[in-house]
Amino acid sequence: MAKINFAVDGKPVTVDVDPNMPLLYTLRDDLKMKNPHFGCGLAQCGACTVHLDGEAIRSCVMPVSAVKGKKVTTIYGLGTPEKPHPLQTAYVQEQVPQCGYCLNGWVMTAAAYLKKNPKASDADLREGLSGLKCRCGTHVSIMRAIKRAQQQLA
Alpha-helix residue ranges (DSSP H) falling in the chain: 23-25, 75-78, 86-93, 103-116, 122-128, 139-153
Contact (CB, 8 A) for 75 and 84: no
Length of the chain in residues, anyone? 154
At the top level of CATH, the class of 86-153 is mainly alpha
Which tens digit of pLDDT belongs to each residue from 13-60?
999 999 999 999 999 999 999 999 999 999 999 999 999 999 999 999
User: Using CA atoms, how far apart are residues 150 and 154, in angstroms rounded to an integer?
Assistant: 6
What is the topology classification, in CATH, of domain 2-78? Ubiquitin-like (UB roll) (3.10.20)
Domain boundaries, the chain: 2-78, 86-153
Regarding pTM above 0.85, the answer is yes
Which tens digit of pLDDT belongs to each residue from 74-119?
999 999 999 999 999 999 999 998 888 999 999 999 999 999 999 9
